Amino acid sequence: MTDELLVLRAQLGERAAVAELVARWRVPVWTYVRRMLDAERADDVTQEIWLAVVRGLPRLRDPGRFAPWLFTIARRSVTDRLRDQYTHGHDTLAAHDTATEDPVEAMVDRAELVSALAGLPVPEREILALFYLEDLPVEDCAQICRIPTGTVKSRLNRARRLLRAHLEEKGYRP
């Protein structure tokens, strides 16, 4: 069943359709939020997102645009949490994952990548997460972030350069 049909059914009051939407999108939303925030805050923000989705679902005008709408809510929630953290005097915008000693090289590579992503500025990290990790097209990324598509492309380019430089600095060669 498509997201559009599930949204329509949810808007008609079918609780099973809401449950299916949550089940289908729970992991992608949490993953996006986790890439923007530390694990502790990611759980709280994800719950806030789903509460906003359930409350706002009846007002969604275009059920076929559920994914961009969902990630717009997620982005807004993450931005609010980052803003709260900034205004309350915290000195970091994101937790930096640290790699532990692990004999499996893939785990080390993944830890380095997560660390490199955490080191990117928030706008670039957000675009990378939406475009590459959530597989959203440039147009949807632009809509979610409320920026022109050209800005999405330039942020993607800058993010790739920053990520490449960070990984090369750590000894990784493409």
Each residue's pLDDT expressed in tens, for the chain with a length of 174 residues: 899 999 999 999 999 999 999 999 999 999 999 988 888 888 999 999 999 999 999 999 999 999 999 999 999 999 888 877 766 543 433 333 333 343 445 445 556 666 777 788 889 988 888 888 788 899 999 999 999 999 999 999 999 888 888 777 777 665
Q: Which of 144, 116, 146 is nearest to 131 (CA)?
A: 144
> Position of tokens 């990324």?
141
Collapse the DSSP code of 94 into the 3-class scheme (helix H, G, I; strand E, B; otherwise coil) and give the result.
coil
Q: Which pLDDT score, from 0 to 100, does residue 98 have?
A: 38
Give the relative orientation of helices 15-36 and 39-56 as an angle to the nearest 10 degrees: 140
Residue 85, CA atoms < 13 Å, CB-side half-sphere: 17
Token pair listed for 88: 């309350």
Region at 78 (left for phi over 0; alpha for psi -120 to 50; beta for the rest): alpha
DSSP state of 1: -
Query: Residue 146: phi, psi to the nearest 5?
Result: 55, 50
Query: Residue 69: phi, psi to the nearest 5?
Result: -65, -45
Query: Residue 96: phi, psi to the nearest 5?
Result: -100, 120
